[in-house]
Structure 1
C-alpha cells in the first residue's frame, strides 16, 4: 500500500499514519510511505510506483495534485483520499467537515463575547483552507459582524509565517481581540507573537486552532481547538482501500467523521473557576 504524505514532520500526520499502518498490518499488508515535502513533482514520482506495480493502491494525505489528475489515477488504481476532498470528485474520501468545524470554533469565540475576530488561513490553494475560511465568514455574516479585509491573513502552515501574520494583525489601528488560526501548529506561532509583543493570551487576544495536537494541551495557555479523529481517519481510509483492492464496490464514497470542540484556556475559558462555581451551586442545592 502506498501512502503519500506532504510533510512527515508535521505532528498531525503521525496519528493518521498510525491508524493506516495498524489497519494494514492487521490485514496482512505493508505500507510504503512517500514524503513529498510539499513537492508536486516528487508526488508524481511516488505515484509511478503504482504504474510499476510496486503497490496495490494509494492513500494520498492532502494531495497537492489537481482534481483531474487524482481522478485519473483513481480510475486506474484503488485510491482513497484522506484528510482532503474535492467537490464533485468520484473518489472515496475520509475527512471531517471543515466548514462546519470552522463555524463551530468561530461561533465559540462569539459566544465568549468577541466581535473583532481575525482569521489566519492556510495556503489558499488548499481546499481545507478555503473551507475553513468559508465557515468563518458564514458565522461572522450570520451575526452581522463586519470583517475587516486586513483581518484575514494567509499563512503557509509554518509557525514562523503565522508569527509574522499575527504581528501584522497586532499592528493594525484596530487589532482583533480574537484570532482563529488554521491549525494548532500555526496557533502556537500566533501565541508567541502575542507574548513577544508584550500582550497576554487570552486577556488581550484569544487564540483558537484546529487539530487538537498533543502539544495543544501542553503549551501555555492550553489551546482551544477542534479535535480531528486523526487515528480513525487513517484507519477508515485503509479499511476502504482494502475493500477497493478486494473488488468491493462502495455505495457510499464520502465519509465525514465527527469532530469535537475542545475548550481550553487560550480562548478565555476558566475551567477551574467554572468547576468551583458548579461545586458551590451543588452545595447550595443540598442546603
Structure 2
C-alpha cells in the first residue's frame, strides 16, 4: 500500500512537505506543489482522511446529548438537528444521560477531549459553571432547556407563557379547581411550567390548594400515579394541566381506571404535542412545541460556532401553539 513516505521519496521532498501540500498548499512553493501532486498521481496515493482530520483536530462529528431517549418528544428535535448536520457533512453521535448528571458530565468531557467538534445539549441539569466553562472553549448550543442568566446560544420556547396559556384555556372553559402535574422541579422546564400555571391561577384569583399540585418526572407512570392521588382527595380538581403529554396520557388512564371519563368528568391538557397525542383516544388537547425547528435552528447555530462565525444574537425563542382536541370540556 502506497504511503506518504513513498510520495516523499518520489518527489524528493520531506514527508512534512507532502503533508503541507495536502492540507495547506498555499504554504508551499508552486514548483514543489506541482512535483508532489505529480508523485501523488503517479503512485495513486490516497491520503488518510482520518489522520488528516486528527491533525487538524477536526472530527466532522457533533454530539447531541438528550436527558431521556425514551421520551418521544426528542425524536423530532433530533430529526431537525440531523437534517442540517448531514447537509453540512457532519455525523451525529447521540448521548443519552438517562437523567443522570454524572453521565451528562461524561459527555461534556468527550467534547473537551476533541472526540466531537461541537455539542448540542438538550439537557442542562449539571452545574451551570461547568457548562459555561466548556462553552467558553468549545462550540456548545443549548436547546429545549436553558441556563438562567447564561450567554450560551440557546433555542427554546417560552415555557412559562405556554403553561400559562394551557391553564388559561381551562379557566376560560369555566374550571376553577385546576390541578397541575409538574415536571421535576429540580430542572428549569419543571419550574417554568409550574410558574405559568401559578401565574394564570393568580391572575384570575382562583384558589390554589397545594394538594392540587403534584411533582412528576415527565413519565407516563408518574402521570398515572399522581392522578390517582389527586382523585383520592376529598375535594379533587375538575381539570388537570400536565406539564407534558406522557403524564397527561397517564392521568387520563388513571381517570378511566376509576370508571370516570375524559372530558365528561375531568378535563386534561398536556404539553409538547408528541405524535401519540393526536392518535390517543380521546385525542389530547395540548401545547405544541416546534420540535423540528428547535433542532434545525440549534444545529445551524452550532455550525456557525464551529466555523467561528459571529452570531447576531444568541437567544432564540420560538413560538408554541395551543392545539385544541377532545380532552377538555366546558364546566359551568
TM over 0.5: yes
Which blocks of at least 5 consecutive residues in structure 1 are unaligned?
270-287
Look up the match of 2:39: none
Match of 2:178 among 117, 126, 133: 117
18-27 vs 155-164, which moves further: 155-164
Q: How high is the TM-score relative to the length of structure 1? A: 0.92
Shift of 1:249: 2.0
Look up the match of 1:281: none
For residues 59-208 of structure 1, the aligned pairs below 5 Å read 59-208=120-269
Runs of 4+ in 1 over 3 A off after TM superposition: none
Aligned length: 269
Asked if residue 46 in structure 1 is aligned to residue 95 in structure 2, the reply is no
Q: How high is the TM-score relative to the length of structure 2? A: 0.80
- Say whether the 8 Å CA contact 1:5–1:63 is kept in structure 2: no
Match of 2:321 among 239, 256, 260: 260
Asked if residue 217 in structure 1 is aligned to residue 275 in structure 2, the reply is no
Shift of 1:36: 1.3
Secondary structure, in 3 states, of the residue corresponding to 2:91?
A: coil
Q: Distance in 2 between matches of 1:160 and 1:53?
A: 38
Look up the match of 2:73: 12
136-145 vs 60-69, which moves further: 60-69
Which blocks of at least 5 consecutive residues in structure 2 are unaligned?
1-61
Q: Distance in 2 between matches of 1:125 and 1:134?
A: 13
Shift of 1:213: 0.7
Look up the match of 2:287: 226
Shift of 1:157: 1.6
Look up the match of 1:239: 300
Secondary structure, in 3 states, of the residue corresponding to 1:94?
A: strand
Secondary structure, in 3 states, of the residue corresponding to 2:180?
A: strand
Higher RCO (CA-CA < 8 Å; seq separation 6+): 1
Q: Distance in 2 between matches of 1:66 and 1:109?
A: 36
Shift of 1:165: 0.6
Look up the match of 1:280: none
The structure with the largest alpha-carbon Rg is: 2
Look up the match of 2:29: none
Q: Distance in 2 between matches of 1:106 and 1:6?
A: 26
Shift of 1:60: 0.7
- Say whether the 8 Å CA contact 2:181–2:215 is kept in structure 1: yes
Look up the match of 2:36: none
224-233 vs 247-256, which moves further: 247-256
Shift of 1:66: 2.1
Shift of 1:159: 1.2
Secondary structure, in 3 states, of the residue corresponding to 1:9?
A: coil
Shift of 1:220: 1.1
- Say whether the 8 Å CA contact 2:121–2:143 is kept in structure 1: yes
Q: Deviations over 1:190-215 (max 9, x none)?
A: 00000001111011110001000110
